[in-house]
Amino acid sequence: MKSRPIGITIMGVLLVMVSILAFILGISIIIPGTPLDILWTLNSSFPPNFKSTLAGMIFGYFLIILSIIGLYTRWGLLKGRKWAWWIIVIIFVVNGIGDLARIVFGGVIEGIFGILIAAGFLFYLTRPRVRAFFETKSNKEIEEN
């Protein structure tokens, strides 16, 4: 049986936390007037009436779908599924590109910090021991034959 690297377990925990937050935010957009509205008053970069627009509703459903994908990806990560490795790599690449755009539009410190974090996760995910955890049985059997 493959031994799961500790960093993958940590990523799984972080993915659950982010997925739960995305779900809560999605619900707070779709169903206004709940106690969850306080999340929008604490720190929101969206316009004040965003939640009552069609774009807001679409964004709310997008967050819920994203949270479900995140939870499923977490399961795949912990089980060593190759498709989950690819999804998490894509997430960090897209995140890094978004942080690069942030730098271009004036958020230099936040962008650099975000790029460093994404690069650190990508570096970790590409280490031989971590990659080996995600190798499928069928790939190993093919190499042996």
Beta-carbon contacts of 12 under 8 Å, excluding residues fewer than 6 positions away, are 74, 77, 78
> What residue spans define the domains of the chain?
1-79, 80-136
Instruction: Point out the residues of the chain with pLDDT beneath 70.
Output: 1, 40-45, 48, 136-145
Is 1 within 8 Å of 70 (Cβ atoms)? Answer: no
Residue 28 pLDDT: 84
Residue 38 Cα distances to 28, 34, 131, angstroms = 9, 9, 41
Amino acid type, 62: F
Residue 144 pLDDT: 47
DSSP 5-52: PHHHHHHHHHHHHHHHHHHHHHHHHHS-SSGGGHHHHHS--S-TTGGG
Residue 137 pLDDT: 53
**Which pTM value belongs to this model?**
0.78
Residue 15's φ and ψ, nearest 5 degrees, are: -65, -35
